Amino acid sequence: MDLDLQIRTELRKKALADRNSISEEMRMEYSQRIQKKTIDFLDSISAKFVHSYISFNSEVGTHEILNDLINRKIKVAVPITIGDANSQHMIHSRLDNLEFLRPGKFGVPEPNTTHEISIEKLDAVIIPMVAFDVFGMRLGYGKGFYDKFLSQIPTKVRKIGLAFSIQQVGMIPRFSHDQLINNIITEESNFILK
């Protein structure tokens, strides 16, 4: 195995274990802090159209962010993974509420009914992270969906990674397909990278 790939695999494994080790009570408290900071940041850039993951398992919660945006009539899109085991990709669906969700591929929550939406006029993308460094590198789950997606959107779109501070690592080896993110929001810090 290539050394950089091995390093990334180990970083991903440790960061997931660290994230899973956070108690449910602390995860909720940290998520609330992160969600408030994220809403404040989206307001500071006057976001009118936001793409976001729907949180599950031990990820930073996004339900408060999504409910806030929907209640204020800010347009929201969420990812949906489609395809078979050999060819999977992400499409984007409008989200009008969080009441009617079902487990999609990999158990990730997604809307019961897909309303595919153009993402041409996005202002921001909220991205899940397994690990991150202060240089704007993130590790996801290793499927490459977000790197492909982020490579297709304009550079002016704010790319906001949400994570707990325990998920920060020293430096993630960068591959050519990796997309850097602009902002990292944790319960302790806001990193604005460019």
Q: How far, in Å, CA of 12 to CA of 20, rounded?
A: 12
Q: Residue 85: its pLDDT value, please?
A: 62
Task: Give this prediction's pTM.
Answer: 0.93
* Residue closest to 102 by CA, chosen among 116, 89, 113, 91: 113
**φ, ψ for residue 101, nearest 5 deg:** -115, 155
Return the residue matching tokens 């993951």.
53
The per-residue pLDDT for 1 is 59
pLDDT of residue 83: 76
Give the H/E segment covering residue 123.
Answer: none
- At 144 the pLDDT is 83
Answer for the pair 53, 45: CB distance below 8 angstroms, yes or no: no
Q: Which domains does the chain have, with CATH numbers?
A: 3-192 (3.40.50.10420)
End-to-end Cα separation, the chain, in angstroms? 33
pLDDT per residue rounded down to tens, the chain (194 residues):
588 889 999 999 999 999 999 999 999 999 999 999 999 999 999 999 999 999 999 999 999 999 999 999 999 999 998 876 677 788 999 999 988 888 887 788 989 888 999 988 999 999 999 999 999 999 998 888 899 999 999 989 999 999 999 999 999 999 999 999 999 999 999 888 86
Residue 97's H or E segment, with its range, is: none
Q: How far apart are CA 170 and CA 147, in angstroms?
A: 21
Chain CA centroid to CA 157, Å: 14
As given in the structure block, the two tokens for residue 135 are 């240089």
